[in-house]
Chains A and B, each alone.
Chain A
Amino acid sequence: MKIERREFLKLAGLSAIFGLGGTAIASSVQQTPSYIPDPKELTGKRWALVINMDKFKTDADVKRVIDVCHTKHNVPNIPNPKQEVKWIFTEMMENVFPEQQDKYLTEHYKHMPFLTLCNHCANPPCVRVCPTQATFKRKSDGIVMMDMHRCIGCRFCMAGCPYGARSLNWIDPRPYLDPKKINPEFPTRMKGVVEKCTLCYELIAVGKIPACAEASNGAIVFGDLEDPKSEVRKVLAETYTIRRKPELGTRPSVYYVIGGMKDAGKGA
């Protein structure tokens, strides 16, 4: 095919533009990296727990809940009670609710061990006092989180927490982990940082409920307080519940069902 020089130059020029333009379009298809939440994650504005101690049939049931949490999160088992690290534990009812102490309180509750943990308050004093925001309230779901990379170990949060929920690693925790039970999918902590229950944020992120609720056989209910159709709202609507030290204005998110004596199991 005979072609004029002018025609050839026009064709060549257009091809070049399309060619270059084409590669530009092709490379813009390559994205800049971005971070997105896992589509499986549970979404909620304010996570809460409702604990019904009467639904725990035996001490072993309570211990199972504690063990599942501490094992999943590589919480060390330190024998010296002054230096122990614990995320969820039991204390007698009159210690968990000291303002309810009364000689004539029903025996059923007076010496009942109550599970206690971080209350993930809506107005947390620990977050207020942290000088580095190593502990902070997650805007997305209200969990009071710990950023272990930023904590300087000043322990202002431990002084600020009215519930005794926090533990410092006074020594290196690794020797106090059971090597047979270490969870390789979750980190440990190192000495000098404060730790506490973080509401299984890593499980919520992939669509699972916190380990303690899962292991409790319905004694611990987990859900979104701001969702009127959630499980926790149902329980709260039906039963009277109390929270720890509400007069301090911390607005705790852990509720305790009281008066479920009809649910009581033996040995509770």
Chain B
Amino acid sequence: MLEKALNGGKLYWTWIGFLLAVFGVGFLFYLQQWNVGLGITGMSRDVSWGFYISQFTFLVGIAASGVMVVLPFYLHDYKAFGRITILGEFLAIPAVIMCVTFIVVDLGQPYRAMNVIFHPSPSSILFYDTIVLNGYLLLNLLVGWTCLHAEKKSIAPPKWVKPFIILSIIWAPSIHTVTAFIYAGIPGKHFWLTAVMAARFLASAFASGPALLLILALIVRKFSKFDPGSEAIQTLGKIVTYCMILNVFLLGLELFTAFYSGIPGHMHAWEYLYAGIDGKGVLVPLMWLSAILAAVSISMLVFPQVRKNETLLAIACVCVFFSLWIDKGFGLVVGGFVPNSFEQVTEYWPTLAEFSIAMGVWALGFLILTVLYKVAVSIKEESGGEAIH
């Protein structure tokens, strides 16, 4: 089926070329990082995780969100999603690959990455994250490919796929919960030490993932003969709306606990992110942009009339996506490290090299996404588009 990715028009090949170019630039910078070390990034002794890990954290959410279309179709027979389950699964695959790539790119000694397998450490959350991420990747590859193949032949998928699909539905929240546990169990970082961390992760995942999926569905409809269906798109819009509201609500819960309790350790990170401390506040404009985008998107999405207008819906989803990308990308990870264990402020901003490497990984992910979508959409164009249960 992969040969379908080799048929494309000028626009398709220009896009692929662009992605390869961005990947190439990122790869060259990665060679520099390989030679010089992580010192070419903006990370420091105080802010020891930065852009790479934050992208990994955000993308775990996108990966998990595939379950948002798979669950209603397979467990509750919501037929409208039948057309796009493959789009959800084929979004999860590059997302997980990007997650793993971001982790490898972030390692100081990538040669030794296999030590996590050779020396299993059941007390470490990263151990479990390795298992659940790779397992989820395998599940999505297996299920997606098998179901697509069946659709190509216009038959129902084989019966043995069903238990794997159910497993993937249970597995999806686990990759997210485990990733949240990386942060939520660290005693020294008060910003992260909150019971709602996993809940916040799930809410933001199920807002940002379907938002991206909705935009991708609109793109697919525009550039191919396959129409994912207005009902599917509208339902995705409703999911984004509710989950974004939930996400902002949970953020409000955090702010209440921090500021009503008045405990300095709980308040300081929020102060740094949204106001700056001692004149240091490089992230302040970015965090307020995230807040504004969230407010704008929610005030658009709550109105069904706005959602029915697919242009406005797309704009709102872009706002959701970038709002959450900033919040999880910069806010969550960097906020945990500022102020440091000595209550001092060391700021963080990614360097050009770091940003280029990160964009290279995104380009790799979009490359895989484009190829997979091209295959899926080509087959759906031929077969009529309905997945058979």
Contacts and interface: CB of A to CB of B under 8 A. Distances in A.
Interface of A: 81-85, 91, 94-96, 98-99, 101, 125, 127-134, 150-156, 158-164, 167-172, 191-194, 245, 248-250
Given A152-B112, A161-B188, A82 B341 contact: no
A250 to B, nearest CB: 7
- Interface range on chain B: under 10, 10 to 19, 20 to 34, or 35 or more? 35 or more
Contacts of B37: 169-172, 191-192
B119 A168 contact: no
Contacts of B106: 154-155
- The 7 A-B pairs with the shortest beta carbon distances in the complex, nearest first, are A153-B108, A162-B188, A192-B108, A82-B44, A170-B39, A164-B341, A191-B37
Given A131-B126, A170-B39, A192-B37, A82 B107 contact: no
B309 interface: no
Given A168-B48, A192-B37, A128 B115 contact: no
25 contacts: A82-B346, A83-B39, A91-B342, A98-B264, A98-B342, A127-B123, A131-B126, A131-B130, A132-B119, A134-B115, A151-B108, A152-B112, A152-B115, A154-B106, A158-B48, A160-B187, A163-B341, A170-B44, A171-B36, A191-B108, A192-B107, A193-B109, A248-B188, A249-B187, A250-B187
Nearest to A170: B39
A133 B118 CA distance: 11
Contact of B107 (A153, A159, A172): A153
A155 B48 contact: yes
B124 interface: yes
B154 interface: no
Contact of A131 (B124, B188, B344): B124
B187 A151 contact: no
A140 B48 CA distance: 31
Contacts of B126: 129, 131, 154, 156
Contacts of A171: 36-37, 39
Nearest to A163: B341
B116 interface: yes
A83 B346 CA distance: 12
